[in-house]
Amino acid sequence: MLESDLRSLRHAWATPPAAEEDPFERFDRAQGIGMVRDPYPALAAMRAAGPVQRIDLHALAGMSPVGPERELYSVLGWDAVCEVLRDAARFSSAGYATTMGVVMGHTILEMDGVEHVRHRALISRAFTRRALERWERELVRPIVNAHVDRFAARGAADLVRELTFPVPVRVIAGMMGLPPESHDEFHRRAVELISVGIDLEAGKRASRALTELYAPVLADRRAAPRDDLISVLAHAEYDGARLDDEAIYAFLRLLAPAGAETTYRSSSNLLFGLLAHPDQLDALRRERALLPRAIEEGLRWEPPLLAIMRTATRDTEVAGVPIPAGATLAVHLGAANRDPARWADPDRFDIRRPPQPHVAFALGAHVCLGMHLARMETRVLLETLLDRFPDLRIDPDAEDVHISGLMFRSPRSLPVRF
């Protein structure tokens, strides 16, 4: 993270919210969305100075989130990022217990070793290929089309507010089996939950409110399972073990933002890339087979989540840099995705780039459990827009549409005409 970014982030945290402020606006402000337009040149400069760097927190007056006894390292190069993410024994995820864990509970995100493997195996039952195919047919396509129907006759829309923002949260709520009348509250609470860094009490309140939404559904599905995610979690068995209620609530609390926040941002980023490069949008219209590559390029070029955290479990080294036990590592997925050692002209958005794996979904034991769902949702969104609006283009009267953000990145709006 860059010094100037840390300062603006601290300013955002310190600024009190207006009464009744929209939690989405507040979250965007706290994440530096709208303030940090392009962190990539500075990340590139840091990466060029070395793939792993010790950050001197004491030099950043007032910023010592890891405490004086610990140290912070930024991991920026492709090889170094992969090395850290592949070695979960050396680089633990347990540090999330003191951040997201405070409001989510003990989730797979913060588990290590055997505990993580067992829980992930149980939970993975809910994300089978068959389940995905059914969700695409019964949930994603109808939800996307219903949202597009609302603006289709208008000839203009904001694709963020009217499509990419509301769709993923409706999908995840539908997958869980939550009643439709609770979907708006579900979305608001999901955003409040990840705003824990700005307002701990609001995060805890959101956590309780989400549990209250889940509890009657879980009780009902334990007694009478249906075809939804909560039913699968309630009845999944691995080695004779089942998930207890708290483990299920914790996982559902994690899924609320994991499923909604990231997918909304990544699909917005891909749409921005295409609308800002009309020649590539045209190429995709002519050659639909390019769609999977376009989706991966969008994720590589502008991953919605720029960095994740790990903790060194022992004295070690990465890329020749010694790292002491207990040190926190900021693993920069965005910087790794633009490492010039791996991608030619990495800042360029290019859907015809020869495909090779990126780390937008991380890598190793904790690789995103929802990545196939996220890809499917993005594909359906794109297919629907291409099918229904053959002349979709950025609104020529719109001013300065761009992606911004520090940890979470996306455009605030995508005004289009068709």
Residues lying near ligand HEM in the complex (CB under 6 A) are found at 93, 108-109, 120, 172, 254-255, 258-259, 262-263, 266, 303-305, 308, 360-362, 366, 368-370, 373-374
Question: How near is the Cβ of 304 to ligand HEM at its closest, in Å?
Answer: 5
Instruction: Identify which of residues 164 and 211 has a Cβ nearer to ligand HEM in the complex.
Output: 164
Instruction: Identify which of residues 262 and 384 has a Cβ nearer to ligand HEM in the complex.
Output: 262
Q: Residue 194: which of 259, 143, 119 has the closest Cα?
A: 259
Beta bridge partners of 311: 92, 328
Q: Residue 330: which of 104, 59, 54, 69 has the closest Cα?
A: 54
The residue nearest ligand HEM at its CB is: 370
Angle between helices 245-276 and 183-194 (to 10 degrees): 90
Question: How near is the Cβ of 391 to ligand HEM at its closest, in Å?
Answer: 27
Question: How near is the Cβ of 9 to ligand HEM at its closest, in Å?
Answer: 19
Calpha distance 31→87 (Å, rounded): 29
Q: Residue 192: which of 218, 210, 168, 170 has the closest Cα?
A: 210
Asked if 232 contacts 125 with a C-beta cutoff of 8 angstroms, the reply is yes
Question: How near is the Cβ of 359 to ligand HEM at its closest, in Å?
Answer: 8
Question: How near is the Cβ of 95 to ligand HEM at its closest, in Å?
Answer: 9
Question: How near is the Cβ of 17 to ligand HEM at its closest, in Å?
Answer: 27
Instruction: Identify which of residues 86 and 393 has a Cβ nearer to ligand HEM in the complex.
Output: 86
How far CA 31 is from CA of 36, 121, 198, in Å, comes to: 9, 32, 9
Instruction: Identify which of residues 68 and 361 has a Cβ nearer to ligand HEM in the complex.
Output: 361
Q: Residue 237: which of 365, 129, 118 has the closest Cα?
A: 118
Instruction: Identify which of residues 137 and 418 has a Cβ nearer to ligand HEM in the complex.
Output: 137
Structure-derived torsion over alpha carbons of residues 392, 396, 399, 403, reported in degrees to the nearest 10 = 30
Instruction: Identify which of residues 255 and 392 has a Cβ nearer to ligand HEM in the complex.
Output: 255
Question: How near is the Cβ of 119 to ligand HEM at its closest, in Å?
Answer: 8
Question: How near is the Cβ of 262 to ligand HEM at its closest, in Å?
Answer: 3
Sign of the dihedral through C-alpha 162, 163, 165, 170: positive
Question: How near is the Cβ of 213 to ligand HEM at its closest, in Å?
Answer: 16
Distance of CA 257 to the CA centre of its chain: 8
- How do beta strands 403-404 and 156-158 pair? unpaired
Cβ neighbours of 80 (radius 10 Å): 26
Calpha distance 307→329 (Å, rounded): 10
Calpha distance 354→336 (Å, rounded): 17
Question: How near is the Cβ of 311 to ligand HEM at its closest, in Å?
Answer: 11
Per-residue DSSP letter, 109: G
Structure tokens given for 333:
């997925």
Instruction: Identify which of residues 164 and 266 has a Cβ nearer to ligand HEM in the complex.
Output: 266
**Alpha helices, H only, 337-414:** 371-388
**Alpha helices, H only, 177-290:** 183-194, 200-223, 229-235, 245-276, 278-286
Distance of CA 36 to the CA centre of its chain: 18
Structure tokens given for 264:
């909304």
Instruction: Identify which of residues 211 and 262 has a Cβ nearer to ligand HEM in the complex.
Output: 262
Instruction: Identify which of residues 252 and 391 has a Cβ nearer to ligand HEM in the complex.
Output: 252
Instruction: Identify which of residues 193 and 305 has a Cβ nearer to ligand HEM in the complex.
Output: 305
